[in-house]
Amino acid sequence: MTETTPSATGQLTGNVLYYNQPEPLNPTTHKGMGVKRIDGPFSFAAKHNLVPLTVSEFQLAVLNGPIIFVGEEKTPLQVMGLNHDENIFVLPTGVFDAGVYVPAYVRRYPFVFANDSQAGQSILCVDRSAAFFAESNPELPFFDEKGEPTEYTQNCLKFCNDYEMERQKTQSFVQLLKALDLFESKESFYTPVNEDGTPGEPQKLADYFGVSEERLRALPAEKFMDLRQSGALNQIFAHLISLAQWDRLVALSMNRQMQLQNQAPQAANS
């Protein structure tokens, strides 16, 4: 069950990426508040290279970068940078580079569902620390004069509800892969080139879980057909294809680093 106006302020549980000050959204606390339009609305995403993905997004995000699975829960993540504190697809202006798919996890910010342990339900929260949170004179208020959610808030609530449904589908997808024993540990390496043109010492980029192509090929025909008919096979192929993006990610990271190095002298001389 989800609410926008909780009757009690229970204990919120769980830590969520990007959210520093989430609080239950209600017409009393947030009367006259809302959001404002700002330049660089995605600056909050610039300092994190891993972004959660839902399974329905795999085919949309395949060209961004590798889609990997991490942890005991095998959480699917989009790799958007090689350094843990840098998303190379977020420009210094605080917007995503042209042509980059922006994950739904990023687009739902500053809203999120949180568990209210006292009330035993999920409630809609908003991150008060968001740069575009407006304490007064918002361009898009959360509530109208009667204390009812505005169209903007209703749309955000629907988006969060849809996201929650996709998250549950993703959990089912992961459980299916687990049940078929398709996961295996994987490593990605980058081999730099020395000044004389010879290959350098390989450097590890990441350890993660991914689908084993060997185990996939070894599945009984009926199990393979089940994956195909359910649509899960398309998502598996999208994940496998995305792993070829490690080299592209390295190239983009090196290019980004060179641009920043070139900009540094210009800034010093200005």
What are 67-101's pLDDT values in tens digits?
Answer: 999 999 999 999 999 989 999 999 999 999 999 99
What is the rounded average pLDDT of the residues 36-42?
95
What are 239-257's pLDDT values in tens digits?
Answer: 999 999 999 999 888 887 7
**Does the N-terminal peptide bond of residue 192 adopt cis geometry, omega within 30 degrees of 0?**
no
- Residue 120's pLDDT is what? 67
pLDDT confidence band for 9 (50 / 70 / 90): very low
pTM: 0.87
pLDDT confidence band for 117 (50 / 70 / 90): low
Q: Which residue has the tokens 């010492």?
A: 201
